[in-house]
């Protein structure tokens, strides 16, 4: 299970990045973020990643008006690069499924209908520790007003 303080929406996975590139990435992200105003997103239904036949991640879908998150994600890929997946909020990683019927039950969980405001885009460093990933924000770019 992902600890509450580590919950985040992934827009692009950059992988290993040389430390000398962080300033350049941060500047590009600042410029990109300045093109967008703060906006609301809603938590959707449970999402099985990559698919229900081979589940490795259990996540919530994250929805925004006019597919704004997807637009920002594509722009991040175009400007900075990385591996872009549809926006989601990871709940946990799955190593093995012992009861395939449980997947069908999980899919029945209704949308939370809750939402929150997106105010910034962060560059997050992930280091795998003994108890799971350790995240730290190494740069934050704020959206407009």
Mind listing the domains of the chain with CATH numbers? 4-142 (3.90.1140.10)
Look at residue 123 in the predicted model and tell me its pLDDT: 92
Residue 133 pLDDT > 80: no
Residue 50 pLDDT > 90: no
Note the maximum CA span of the chain. 48
Look at residue 105 in the predicted model and tell me its pLDDT: 83
41 C-beta neighbours (distance < 10 Å), count: 19
Band (40; pLDDT cuts 50, 70, 90): very high
């Amino acid at each position: 299970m992902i600890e509450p303080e580590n919950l985040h929406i992934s827009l692009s996975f950059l992988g290993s990045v040389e430390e000398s590139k962080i300033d350049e990435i941060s500047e590009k992200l600042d410029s990109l973020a300045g093109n967008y105003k703060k906006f609301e997103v809603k938590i959707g239904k449970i999402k099985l990643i990559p698919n229900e036949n081979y589940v490795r991640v259990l996540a919530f879908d994250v929805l925004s008006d006019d597919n704004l998150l997807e637009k920002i994600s594509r722009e991040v890929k175009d400007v900075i690069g990385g591996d872009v997946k549809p926006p989601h909020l990871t709940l946990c990683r799955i190593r093995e499924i012992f009861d395939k019927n449980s997947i069908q039950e999980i899919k029945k969980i209704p949308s939370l209908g809750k939402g929150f405001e997106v105010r910034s885009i962060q560059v997050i460093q992930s280091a795998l520790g003994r108890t799971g990933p350790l995240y730290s924000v190494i740069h934050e770019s704020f959206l407009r007003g």
